[in-house]
Structure 1
């Protein structure tokens, strides 16, 4: 008999609402993740420390580990610190770097991981990938999907607004990423997972088309749901393909070429996605991307994040080298430096008209 369904790695529970953090202890007990409260919390020295004061009295048997940064060394240190102490789970309480460190450490010691996000900067909060800095720059490490995701909108609203804007750019970029995947499927025969593509694209479309703004609970909920769905789409696909295309290659190029000046991930991929849509000849879509990005306060031109036209052209030219073997509109067009410069001038003119 053929297999009629498939199992999808996904969190046992996703709790996105105002006041979600207040019910964290009960949620973990009710979902049988931790009835004992024996938890290892990974926190930052910023928002994590403040939230520790709120949660620690409710979790007397939990231990708290301050994470210095988002490096592989910090992740290995956390794993070594919690190894052998009989915790029920590892809880990453903070932004993307803390959650990625916690994901890696939990995987290394064989414990489930709970993601409690304090901002919505990118889709890594529920992805099967931990992005960590290493001696060669930055690496992506495969990890299990978090067993639970908790996003308190009150906490998110207290974070710098720039982080929410970054998440918007990352979510919208899914549409460009899926277009690249479909292009590769047509031209190179690369296999495409229709379910993963549908999840990622619809997550992006929901954010792109939503009329609300970053101060609205309804919009923040859609954004958070979109980032969670994007993470699950990567689990379905088995890699980052549904959410990583030309826009992410451009982002990686910025990070590698200008490491001291790089902007937030979502700021760079949002700009990269609008430009990639223009390269495909989808000028109306590129214009819509630029319109929505502007409405939410995101950059649509490189100078808006401190880069010159020449630096942007250099990043686009270098971008394919960041993901060898990945086929996107950049690899397909294989533009020369002068052609990139001309394409950018046309893009800038198009979105300004």
Structure 2
């Protein structure tokens, strides 16, 4: 009997532990990513100088570049700077903005990219997507996933607590995204990938059901590993479907309609996931999501994102336009303006009752 299998692109290294950053040069050499240490390192303006001190006696042949902002123009500027020299790889050390810019630059230059996360705000750590601001607002760009992922828990512990909470909202929203994907498969025959679903669901459940909090090192490791697996699930699927459904449509609508009031991405998709579970009428999943968000200090009502109910209703109405062709509970519900207003008000009441 023939043995049939498929090849899945995955990072050569996933290193989640305390002190991992100090051994980056060894990781690059051991995995033959860069035996010479001749790499371009992109860092943010805030933590860049601090991180650079870590390599005072290592990676001496590396060149350092500062990423200031998460725009497409910033990424292209980084490309222009790096292409002046020859490098084995590009290393991004920072939060989501730095990693997204670095992934895009690496794709343009045809170089492998190493992601070193200093925060856990979203699943871009290991994903094949760069989210960058552009002239039209904000866009998602397909790129090769990182060849290696390093998460230093010492750095994560120093990150703003809000950024870590954002990662919780991001990963928990996977469960809602999967529900959208499965419903589109059942009702419309959309192709679904079981392995991608398993990776995205398992990582989300591990975080949602974990008893720890953001001050707990074991919880942080679980969150970091979950975000990496969530990124890999998108590589497996060849689409963002395992982690992006109605929850992300609502977040994209906020970004486009109210860019001046953008919250952390994970805060927006977490609330979007709770609203999506309300629309589905799944009381158990709704309760689980709201309880998890509330326990970790994430927004659970529109007002906590700075929106009145009427404003949030406008966001919900616009959300399907952000991903034309993608079927989620928002498209399937086909709510009228009056129906949206009623749903938003009822959702707010149910959340208030749940957390009171």
Q: How many angstroms does 1:203 deviate by? A: 1.0
1:224 aligns with 2:224: yes
Distance 1:336 1:265 in 2: 27
Distance 2:49 2:246 in 1: 37
Q: Residue 203 of structure 1 aligns with which residue?
A: 203
Q: Residue 268 of structure 1 aligns with which residue?
A: 268
Q: Residue 235 of structure 1 aligns with which residue?
A: 235
Q: How many angstroms does 1:348 deviate by? A: 2.2
Q: Residue 288 of structure 1 aligns with which residue?
A: 288
Q: How many angstroms does 1:340 deviate by? A: 1.5
Q: How many angstroms does 1:199 deviate by? A: 0.7
State the Cα deviation string for residues 277-335 of structure 1 (Å, max 9, x = none).
Answer: 11101022111211110110000001112111111111001000000000000000011
Structure 1 stretch displaced more, 106-115 or 51-60: 51-60
- Please tell me whether the aligned partners of residues 126 and 227 of structure 2 are also in contact (alpha carbons under 8 angstroms): yes
SS of the equivalent of 1:7 reads: coil
1:27 aligns with 2:40: no
Distance 1:4 1:192 in 2: 19
After TM superposition, the structure 1 = structure 2 runs for residues 102-141 of structure 1, keeping only pairs within 5 Å, are 102-141=102-141
Structure 1 stretch displaced more, 68-77 or 167-176: 68-77
State the Cα deviation string for residues 77-104 of structure 1 (Å, max 9, x = none).
Answer: 1112111522111000101111011111
Q: Residue 85 of structure 1 aligns with which residue?
A: 85
SS of the equivalent of 1:340 reads: helix
SS of the equivalent of 1:92 reads: strand
Distance 2:216 2:342 in 1: 39
Q: Residue 50 of structure 2 aligns with which residue?
A: 50
The size of the alignment, in residue pairs, is: 353
- Please tell me whether the aligned partners of residues 283 and 350 of structure 1 are also in contact (alpha carbons under 8 angstroms): no
SS of the equivalent of 1:171 reads: helix
Q: Residue 244 of structure 1 aligns with which residue?
A: 244
Structure 1 stretch displaced more, 334-343 or 99-108: 334-343
Q: How many angstroms does 1:26 deviate by? A: 1.1
Distance 1:50 1:239 in 2: 36
Distance 2:106 2:257 in 1: 32
Distance 2:340 2:38 in 1: 55
1:320 aligns with 2:320: yes
Structure 1 stretch displaced more, 134-143 or 165-174: 134-143
Q: How many angstroms does 1:258 deviate by? A: 0.4
- Please tell me whether the aligned partners of residues 274 and 290 of structure 1 are also in contact (alpha carbons under 8 angstroms): yes
SS of the equivalent of 1:40 reads: strand
- Please tell me whether the aligned partners of residues 286 and 351 of structure 1 are also in contact (alpha carbons under 8 angstroms): no
SS of the equivalent of 1:77 reads: helix
Distance 2:3 2:257 in 1: 47
Distance 2:140 2:268 in 1: 18
Distance 1:283 1:35 in 2: 54
Q: How many angstroms does 1:2 deviate by? A: 6.5
TM-score (norm 2): 0.97
RMSD: 1.2
TM-score (norm 1): 0.98
Distance 1:339 1:3 in 2: 52
Gaps of 5+ in 2: none
Structure 1 stretch displaced more, 272-281 or 21-30: 21-30
Gaps of 5+ in 1: none
Q: Residue 62 of structure 1 aligns with which residue?
A: 62
Structure 1 stretch displaced more, 241-250 or 277-286: 277-286
State the Cα deviation string for residues 155-191 of structure 1 (Å, max 9, x = none).
Answer: 0110100000000000000000000000111111110
Q: Residue 145 of structure 1 aligns with which residue?
A: 145
Distance 1:285 1:49 in 2: 44
Distance 2:64 2:310 in 1: 46
Distance 1:84 1:78 in 2: 10
State the Cα deviation string for residues 53-76 of structure 1 (Å, max 9, x = none).
Answer: 222431210000011211111111
